[in-house]
Structure formats: structure tokens, C-alpha cells
Amino acid sequence: MNSKNSIINIAKQTIEMESKAIFNLSDLVNDDFADAVTLIYNSKGRVIITGIGKSAIIASKIVATLNSTGTPSIFMHAADAIHGDLGLILEDDIVICISKSGNTPEIKVLIPLIKRAKNKMIAITGNKESFLGQHADYVLNAYVEKEACPNNLAPTTSTTAQLVIGDALAVCLLELRGFSSTDFAKYHPGGALGKKLYLRVQDISSVTQKPKVSASTIIRDVIIEITEKMLGVTAVVENNKIIGIITDGDLRRMLTKVDDFSKLTAKDIMSANPKRIQADAMAIDALEVIEAFGISQLLVEENGTYAGVVHLHDLIKEGII
């Protein structure tokens, strides 16, 4: 039972069982789902999401997803709600209650209190005929045939279904709001994700380094410039406009072809019309160019003039990769 093959087979069976359950959810999406999305979209209040046990954990995740995509949401634990946290719910708020069975004791106590306050209630449940299903204004059906747990007890497939329903809600609302990547960046300013959305080429430190030589610069001075600036590259400029590029690789290739380079200049070994990017472009766009052409450095321009270099290592350091 503890062989590698047995473990792999169990893992595959779990994934296959849950994937089939998720696929079947698409057949359960109906007018209630569309009406619930419309209700939330038109609401002046927040979305309060509640549940008990594993459903409470799923509720927390859905809250996080909604908040990050433009729908203000708050998590309220069902057990805490009946001991004072009901004060979280304001007049215009909409309550989403998550429960597989729809008949847990805490949920049955909580529902009449929400109804008494006249807040609209959306149920995410696997049992439409449950107490929750019967009293909710809208029911989002999260029915699954069985749990992935061999005893059909541990919430596995059912919580995955709840999570997917929450994601579907969030994506529908995101689309209705016309929520853009710029909006997304406002809610995700930190970490690698935020940097991908707001970091520009001109914000990268190495851009302030501007290794440059003229077309007539002798090779010895080209090597010194590349070495001192430590970016493995130098731009070849004329009137501060880019006309070429010389990399470490260009120098190595030169040494395999000539024995005496004392009479050579930058113009003799440079690559003309090199790839470049605008200083105000997104850093993620610089990465796409670097990856597309298999290069390590990219020259930067601003208003048609040479502005510096963006290096693959800087993008790694900033967490863009």
C-alpha cells in the first residue's frame, strides 16, 4: 500500500475525481447564478461571506479573491456571527453563506437572523433542499456526487467545488466591472505580481548605467568601458543616438577571427540596429523582448536618445521572472 505506484495511483484518482466533479458544475449554473452576480454588481454594500469548518476556510479565500478584483468583501465566521459578529452586516450588504449540507446547527441559527435584517442572502450549497437552500434568495448549486476521501467524509471534492463557484463569481464580476490590469495593480502593489503590473524599464537601477562608446573608439577602450560598467555590453552612439551595440560575445568572436585588433574600432565589430525598448515601457515587456530574441541585455531609449541598459539579471533581481 505504501509503494510509489500506489501513492501515484491514489493521487491520480483524487485529481480525476475532483476534475470530473468540477466539470459537472457547469451544468448546474443557472439563472440563480446570473441573478446573484447581477445583485452583487448593482449593490451599494459589501459582500459578507460566512461558513463553518472547511467551508469557512473556502469563504476566506473567496473574500480575498473578490477584494483583489474590485468587489469589497468581508469574512464572517458563522460561529462567531451568532456570538456578536452579526454587527458586521450593514443594511446594504449581501450575505453569501457556504455549507455543503446546508443543515449545520450554526447555519440554521444564523439564517433567520440574516432574514430578519432583510439582507439578501446567496447560498453556495450542495443540497438545494436543505434549510439553507430553502431560505436563501439565490442558490448556487455546488453539488458533488462524493468526496475524494475513501470514506466519503473529509471535505475534499465539495470544498473544491465551493472554491470554483467563488472563482466563477469573482471572474463574472471582474468582467462586468471592466476590471483591467491597471486596476489589478492598485490592489497588488507588493511582491513580484505587483512589479509585473507597475514596474517600468526606467525604474530598474541598471538603466542609470550608460556604457557607451563612439563608432571610432578603439577596441582597447571598448573593453575598458564594458569592464567598468559591468553590464557585459556597451552601446555605440552618435550624437547620443544608438547606432549599434557591442557585447562580451562580440569581443570573443573578434578574438577568434583576428590576431591583431589594435587598428580595429567599435564600428568594425558592432551589431548595427540593435534591439531596444522605450524607458517608459513596462519591465515585463522588456523581459518578453529579451526572451524572444535570446539576449541578455536590451538598450533603452528615451525621446529618441540613448538612456541606458536593462539586463536580464535586473529583471531576475526585481522578481519579474
Which pLDDT belongs to residue 71?
92
pTM of the predicted model as reported, rounded to 2 decimal places: 0.66
Distance CA(317)–CA(233), nearest Å, equals 19
Domains annotated for the chain, with CATH where assigned, are 4-179 (3.40.50.10490), 201-317 (3.10.580.10)
Which pLDDT belongs to residue 206?
67
Average pLDDT over residues 257-270: 88
Which pLDDT belongs to residue 182?
65
Model confidence at 31: pLDDT above 80? yes
113 near 129, Cβ under 8 Å? no
How is the beta sheet containing 297-302 ordered, strand by strand?
276-278, 297-302, 305-311
* pLDDT-based confidence at residue 37 (cuts at 50, 70, 90): very high
| Residue 77 is assigned to a ligand binding site | yes
* pLDDT-based confidence at residue 81 (cuts at 50, 70, 90): confident
Model confidence at 93: pLDDT above 90? yes
Which pLDDT belongs to residue 194?
58
Most confident of 74-78, 203-207, 228-232: 74-78
Distance of CA 75 to the CA centre of its chain: 22
